[in-house]
C-alpha cells in the first residue's frame, strides 16, 4: 500500500521534475569559492578595497566574477565570493598575474597601513553538476535578493543517489515553491569531502519568502514521496546526521549578482 501510494504521488510530480531539469553543463569550467575572515574592525576596509581596487584587477587579469556576499548574520566578519575560470591552468595564471601587478601591490600596502585586513582565507574548487541551471546573467536581476548557500554531506557512497533526487525531483519542486536555483556544484577531486559534498545556491525575495517557500516544499506530498522512495532505494538516508548546512547571504553593493 505504501509503495503504491509513493508511486502514484511520484508519477503525479514526474512531469514537474523532468520539465525543470536543466540541460547538462560541461564540468570543465572551474569555479573557486573563497571565504575571507576579516580581522576585527576591518571588514568595511576589506569591502572598500574590493570595491575600489580588487574587482577591477580581477577583471584585468581575466577572472570572471560571479558574486560577492556577506552572511546576513555575520559575527565572524566574513566575505564570501565566487570566481570562474576556463580551467585550472587559467586560474593559476590569472592569480600569478594579479599578485605581480604593481597596482595590486600599492593598493594592498595602502589598505594595510594600519594592520592587515584578512586573518584567514578558505577556498574550495568546484565544478557544476550535470543538472546545474547556472546563475542568471548579472543584468537579469530585478532588485537585491537574499541568497542561500547550502552544503550537503552525503552518506558515504550515496552522492550519486543524492544527485539523482535533485535532478529528478528537487529542482522542480524548488521552482514550484518560488525558489530560484543558481548553480549546483561538486568539489574538484582531491579536496576533503570531494566524494560526498553537494554545494548549491538558491535565491529568495527576502527572509520571509524563504521561510514560506521551505515550509511549502517540505509539506509537498511529491517531495515527501520522492524523499521516501529515494531513501528506500538507497537503504537509508542520503545525507549524514546534521549533514545539511545553510547560510543566508546578502550581496555586496559591488556584486554582479544582486
Name the domain boundary from 104, 125, 146. 125
Task: Give pLDDT, residue 139.
Answer: 41
Instruction: Please state the pTM of the whole predicted model.
Output: 0.88
Residues 94 and 136 in one domain: no
Q: Are 27 and 130 in contact (CB under 8 A)?
A: yes
Give the tens place of pLDDT for each residue, 60-116. Answer: 999 999 999 999 999 999 999 999 999 999 999 999 999 999 999 999 999 999 999
Give the tens place of pLDDT for each residue, 188-228. Answer: 999 999 999 999 999 999 999 999 999 999 999 999 999 99
Task: Give pLDDT, residue 25.
Answer: 39
Q: Are 163 and 141 in contact (CB under 8 A)?
A: no
Task: Give pLDDT, residue 205.
Answer: 94
Residue 257 lies in a domain: no
Residues 80 and 12 in one domain: no
Q: Return the minimum-mean-pLDDT range out of 30-39, 78-87, 135-144, 200-209.
A: 135-144
- Cell numbers placing 160: 550519486
- Cell numbers placing 164: 539523482
Give, in order, the Cα–Cα distances in Å from 95 to each of 29, 54, 55, 91, 125: 16, 12, 13, 6, 14
Instruction: Tell me the pLDDT band of 18, cut-offs 50, 70 and 90.
Output: very low
Residues 94 and 173 in one domain: no
Structural domain range at position 36: 30-125
Residue 137 lies in a domain: yes
Helix (H, G, I), strand (E, B) or coil at 65: strand
Task: Answer with the residue of higher pLDDT: 156 or 5.
Answer: 156
Residues 180 and 108 in one domain: no
List the CATH number of the domain containing 86: 3.30.70.100
Q: Would you say residue 143 has pLDDT above 90? A: no
Instruction: Tell me the pLDDT band of 49, cut-offs 50, 70 and 90.
Output: very high
Residues 107 and 184 in one domain: no
Residue 256 lies in a domain: no
Residues 37 and 18 in one domain: no
Residues 178 and 198 in one domain: yes
Name the domain boundary from 70, 93, 125. 125
DSSP 2-34: HHHHHHHHHHHHHHHHHHHPPPP--TTSEEEEE
Q: Are 149 and 250 in contact (CB under 8 A)?
A: no
Residues 137 and 224 in one domain: yes
DSSP tag of 145: -
Q: Are 198 and 186 in contact (CB under 8 A)?
A: yes
Residue 211 lies in a domain: yes
Residue 78 lies in a domain: yes
Task: Give pLDDT, residue 22.
Answer: 36
Q: Would you say residue 242 has pLDDT above 90? A: yes
Amino acid at each position: 500500500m505504501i509503495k503504491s501510494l509513493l508511486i502514484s504521488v511520484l508519477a503525479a510530480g514526474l512531469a514537474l521534475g523532468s520539465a525543470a531539469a536543466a540541460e547538462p553543463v560541461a564540468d570543465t569550467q572551474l569555479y573557486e569559492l573563497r571565504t575571507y575572515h576579516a580581522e576585527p574592525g576591518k571588514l568595511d576596509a576589506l569591502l572598500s578595497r574590493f570595491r575600489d581596487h580588487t574587482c577591477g584587477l580581477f577583471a584585468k587579469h581575466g577572472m570572471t566574477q560571479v558574486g560577492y556576499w556577506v552572511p546576513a548574520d555575520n559575527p565572524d566578519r566574513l566575505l564570501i565570493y565566487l570566481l570562474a575560470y576556463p580551467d585550472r591552468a587559467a586560474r593559476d595564471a590569472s592569480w600569478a598575474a594579479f599578485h605581480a601587478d604593481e597596482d595590486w601591490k600599492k593598493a594592498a600596502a595602502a589598505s594595510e597601513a594600519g594592520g592587515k585586513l584578512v586573518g584567514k582565507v578558505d577556498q574550495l574548487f568546484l565544478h557544476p553538476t550535470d543538472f546545474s541551471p547556472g546563475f542568471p546573467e548579472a543584468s537579469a536581476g530585478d532588485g537585491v535578493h537574499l541568497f542561500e548557500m547550502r552544503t550537503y554531506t552525503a552518506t558515504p557512497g550515496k552522492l550519486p543517489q543524492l544527485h539523482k533526487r535533485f535532478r529528478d525531483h528537487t529542482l522542480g519542486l524548488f521552482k514550484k515553491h518560488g525558489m530560484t536555483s543558481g548553480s549546483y556544484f561538486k568539489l574538484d577531486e582531491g579536496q576533503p569531502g570531494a566524494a560526498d559534498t553537494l554545494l548549491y545556491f538558491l535565491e529568495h525575495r527576502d527572509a520571509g519568502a524563504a521561510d514560506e517557500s521551505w515550509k511549502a516544499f517540505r509539506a509537498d506530498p511529491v517531495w515527501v514521496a520522492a524523499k521516501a522512495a529515494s531513501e528506500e532505494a538507497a537503504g537509508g538516508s542520503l545525507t549524514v546526521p546534521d549533514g545539511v548546512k545553510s547560510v543566508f547571504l546578502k550581496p555586496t553593493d559591488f556584486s554582479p549578482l544582486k
